[in-house]
Structure 1
């Protein structure tokens, strides 16, 4: 790649904005590096989506990066402490993707040159982090993992929307509003199961707020007006839970087969993918001149489906909670 003054300025722009997004300076600790790495992974993933086959572009980019670094990624098992929760990963990589889109507006060359430029930026980060006792093969592996999970979330969210439209709406089983509620409900339901399986107190609303954030932010990115009316009209916490059980039962086999085909078997990651899909479907329902539902109604419906499904997990599957449940959480 030919380095020009313009590219150097763009690289500096990216570095400065990543520092602002992550809230860290050049004297980074290990967990700070992981946060920055996930934002950088989002920048790279967005460059891959410029191509017709982004997954292939990503794989080829990894090969080029390996040649540039002169090493292969470590094949050691990544400790779960080094991996961010899927919601946090999604939030940071989306920040990186937004940054990449802003940089692309000022990039004067083609998408191939942009991809090469981003790989050059990534390589410089990985080499620089060796001074922070992060071997480049370890950093490379963490980067690959973050980028792969980011792309999996994006592709699975879009494909899941298409699948629900084809298999449920297309067969007249569901309306668009049912699709929003079904995806939202399954996101809360699946996350509750994940919490319960790992001995977490699934009934605490603060836990589900992470999945709520994924859905609301995806909806806002897709054009749904932001605001404080997401929880308008929701029932009080001491009211009996009332989940859309029929919708959950209808979508469960669809999601189970879908995630099995994608080999996305982590429960928390599945809930993030469903929450992103719900946010996109919400935009379909509540945006545009011919919106099926006003956003002031559609947003609380989606929120209620997600929250009630999470709160009602014990009623739906009481056998999941055990006094001998493991306290080890490995998302």
Structure 2
């Protein structure tokens, strides 16, 4: 176990790799796709300490010999976006074990993870598909964080400060937009299977609530506690969706997040953070027992209205 004295990057690299492999163990082998995503999330967490995280990512990829010019790559769809998001967040959480106070910790941990990346790339074959997966995992880690943060900031600035929305309006609009966005992309793709639709909704609600808990909402109950019964009449909040959608999607497009499934995940994360803004702390604006079902009901209502 690491002490809080500044460790060498070799110590951190060995410790991180061992713990990441344990997380990704499946039977007697390690799931290499999961390992890449955990690693990418961890390195993304380090890069968030830099003034320009996106440029720091590209610099690190060059050091590992992962070329960032990937216009000709075809991204293998080996795992769902929601499953990949879980592993990216696991990596970010693992990285925080090694990050202390001060830039020295960030630099040492960053260098350690670059070394781990070289090793993973070698194990994975160092081909174009491997490079695409490695680049995508770290870029998505950065974009999810910057996207969710940017959407919340802009919503607060424009809607609360400028248009006198309440924090409840923001929760309703972002939760409903995430659900509607996910449903519309599935309808456009011709996915109408009930089980597939329900799984997508469950995944999106989980992402939203886990983000809320990570940012301070009390998490003493089941992550999806507060889901309404199936026969409950659900509101759609169409006016709120139409009002916030251009603002939120502009933030994501500025970050070059164009995949609609990833956009839905980023929107759910932003909604979760807005729940935390309202429900965290000793004197919350909205108690979490109210904020939680408010967000879940809005997301579910908009999703089901669109399918």
Match of 1:191 among 167, 182, 189: 182
Asked whether 1:181 is paired with 2:172, we answer: yes
- Correspondence list, 1:277-296, <5 A: 277-296=270-289
Query: Which secondary structure state, in structure 2, belongs to the residue aligned with residue 312 of structure 1?
Result: helix
Alignment RMSD (CA, Å):
2.6
User: Match of 1:115, SS?
Assistant: helix
- Structure 1 length as normaliser, TM-score? 0.82
Q: Does 1:81 align with 2:81?
A: no
1:274 maps onto 2:273 in alignment: no
Structure 1 stretches lacking a partner, 5+ long: 315-331
Q: Is 1:210 the equivalent of 2:223?
A: no
Note the 1:1-331 alignment, pairs <5 A.
6-24=8-26, 27-28=29-30, 32-66=31-65, 76-82=72-78, 84-105=79-100, 109-129=104-124, 134-201=125-192, 204-226=197-219, 227-228=221-222, 230-232=224-226, 234=228, 236-314=229-307
**Uncovered stretches (5+) of structure 2, i.e. residues with no partner:** 1-5
- Once residues 246 and 135 of structure 1 are traced to their aligned partners in structure 2, the CA distance between those partners, rounded to angstroms, is 49
- The CA distance in 2 between the partners of 1:54 and 1:280, in whole Å, is 20
> Residues 50, 102 of structure 1: CA spacing in aligned structure 2 closer, same or farther, 3 A cutoff?
same
**In structure 1, C-alpha distance between the alignment counterparts of 2:102 and 2:16, rounded to whole Å:** 12
Q: Does structure 1 conserve the Cα–Cα contact (< 8 Å) formed by 2:201 and 2:300?
A: yes
Contact 1:73 1:137 in 2 (8 A): no
In structure 2, what is the Cα distance between the partners aligned to 1:216 and 1:90? 14
Question: Normalized against structure 2, the TM-score is what?
Answer: 0.88
Asked whether the equivalents of residues 100 and 106 of structure 2 are also in contact (C-alpha less than 8 Å), the reply is no
Does the 8 Å CA contact 1:180/1:278 hold for their aligned counterparts? yes
- Encode CA deviations 1:14-50: one digit per residue, 9 max, x unaligned: 122112222336734xxx2111100010111111112
Deviates more, 1:89-98 or 1:220-229: 220-229
Q: Secondary structure at the match of 1:289?
A: coil
Map of 1:317 onto structure 2: none
Distance in 2 (CA, whole Å) between partners of 1:40 and 1:25 is 20
For 1:103, what is the secondary structure of its paired residue?
A: coil
Contact 2:12–2:109 under 8 Å retained in 1: no
SS of alignment partner, residue 257 of structure 2: coil
- The answer to whether the 8 Å contact 1:190/1:271 transfers is yes
CA 1:169–1:40 in 2, change beyond 3 Å: closer, same or farther? same
Length, aligned pairs only: 299
* 1:141 positional shift: 2.4
Q: Which has the larger radius of gyration?
A: 1
Whole-Å Cα distance in 2 between the matches of residues 96 and 107 of structure 1? 20
> Quick one: structure 1 residues 312 and 12, their matched pair in 2 at CA, closer, same or farther if it must change by over 3 Å?
same
8 Å Cα contact 2:98-2:105 kept in structure 1: no
Determine the C-alpha separation between the residues in 1 that align with 2:211 and 2:238.
24
